[in-house]
């Protein structure tokens, strides 16, 4: 989300607040955590006169830096901000706003080498609270000037932080209700809603929609021989591989750009599912073959155990193979059974009355 660029100085006061209030309206309706955090952080950097920022979520006595960004660069590594950890630790203990006009005057936060352009010379860190609970913080700094955060910039950042805390809490609750707790991908209930939506869009717009059903071969034997922890590692590895391969992206099973991007979910047990918008049976089959081949060549180790993994994949597409969501799931599941019966480690497309030939196999 690109915030409108306005000059924050020498303007009538009522004009200064309009853009940030518009952003507040947007964040209150956003449920995707990655998009929400990016929107909050970019807006905070833009309107507070910061050059960098981090949004962190507190967990017990530690914190998880969800995202770090720099103006003009986009995402940066958290480690680039040398003052991040001590500042967040201090706000975690005190729960109060931290405002440092000149880092050189604060020996507790000042790093051994104070480098302009790399180390924050001015720091503003605001707590994120839901009612009385401290849930996180927004860290901002300016690497180019001291006293960078005046009263106006600080007030804008405080307005944003107040609304951001509630929006993040809602997004976390939404993610918890839709996410598989083991694999960090969508659960089947959430996936069915996505699939219903994609099938309906496909129906209205006249384009196809592909569906893959994936099963980890011999997963029960892995669990029995090596235990559930290794089994869970296998499931997490499969989920990550599926997501990064079909989307060429970095976030496992999250619905970024959902209207045009595949969505990965765990169906249950050792089965996964992927919806491929605007993809016919041949296109879905090509993706399935690529995935099956990838797993055959993958080397995976968990708990000192070296494992050879493979997956079987069933393929079906709307409207070629099924007129609605429930039939599409059934056809993909039938194709998965055919793939496993044919030797595992392969993909099979469903063949029905509308099919054009024999079942395709890898």
Mean pLDDT of 335-354: 86
Nearest C-alpha neighbor of 288 from the set 312, 255, 252? 312
pLDDT tier for residue 110 given thresholds of 50, 70 and 90: confident
245 and 113 in one domain?
Answer: no
pLDDT tens per residue, range 35-63: 888 989 999 999 899 999 999 999 876 67
Q: What gap in Å lies between CA 16 and CA 6, rounded to an integer?
A: 8
Q: What gap in Å lies between CA 326 and CA 308, rounded to an integer?
A: 33
pLDDT at 14 over 50: no
Domain end (from 176, 201, 227): 176
Helix (H, G, I), strand (E, B) or coil at 205: helix
Mean pLDDT of 205-220: 94
Give me the CATH number covering residue 212.
3.30.70.270
pLDDT at 320 over 90: yes
Q: How many domains does the chain have?
A: 2
Q: What gap in Å lies between CA 33 and CA 172, rounded to an integer?
A: 7
User: In this predicted structure, what is the pLDDT of residue 247?
Assistant: 60
Higher pLDDT, 250 or 192: 192
Q: What gap in Å lies between CA 316 and CA 333, rounded to an integer?
A: 9
> Which residue range is the domain that position 154 belongs to?
13-176
108 and 32 in one domain?
Answer: yes
207 and 310 in one domain?
Answer: yes
């Amino acid at each position: 989300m690109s915030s409108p660029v306005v000059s924050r100085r020498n303007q009538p006061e009522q004009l200064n607040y309009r853009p940030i209030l518009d952003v507040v309206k947007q964040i209150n309706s956003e449920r995707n955590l990655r998009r929400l955090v990016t929107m909050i952080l970019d807006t905070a950097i833009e309107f507070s006169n910061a050059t960098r920022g981090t949004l962190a979520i507190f967990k017990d006595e530690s914190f998880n830096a969800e995202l770090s960004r720099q103006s003009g660069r986009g995402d940066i590594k958290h480690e680039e901000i040398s003052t991040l950890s001590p500042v967040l630790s201090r706000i975690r203990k005190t729960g109060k706003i931290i405002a440092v006009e000149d880092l050189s005057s604060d020996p507790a936060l000042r790093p051994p080498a104070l480098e302009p352009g790399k180390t924050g010379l001015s720091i503003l860190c605001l707590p994120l609270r839901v009612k009385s609970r401290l849930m996180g913080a927004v860290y901002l700094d300016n690497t180019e000037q001291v006293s960078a955060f005046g009263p106006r910039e600080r007030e804008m950042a405080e307005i944003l932080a107040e609304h951001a805390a509630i929006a993040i809490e809602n997004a976390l609750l939404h993610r918890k209700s839709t996410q598989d707790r083991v694999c960090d991908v969508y659960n089947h209930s959430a996936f069915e809603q996505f699939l219903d939506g994609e099938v309906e869009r496909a129906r209205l717009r006249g384009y196809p929609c592909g569906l893959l059903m994936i099963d980890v071969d011999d997963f029960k034997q892995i669990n029995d021989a090596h235990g559930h922890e290794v089994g869970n590692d296998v499931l997490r590895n499969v989920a990550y591989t599926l997501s990064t391969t079909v989307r060429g992206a970095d976030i496992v099973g999250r619905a970024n750009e959902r209207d045009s991007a595949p969505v990965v979910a765990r169906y249950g047990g050792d089965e996964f599912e992927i919806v491929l918008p605007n993809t016919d049976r041949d296109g879905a089959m090509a993706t399935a073959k690529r995935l099956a081949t990838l797993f055959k060549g993958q080397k995976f180790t968990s708990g000192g155990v070296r494992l050879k993994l493979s997956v079987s994949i069933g393929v079906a597409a709307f409207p070629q193979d099924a007129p609605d969501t429930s039939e599409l799931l059934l056809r993909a599941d039938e194709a998965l059974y055919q793939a496993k019966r044919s030797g595992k480690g392969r993909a099979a497309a469903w063949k029905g009355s509308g099919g054009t030939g024999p079942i395709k196999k890898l």
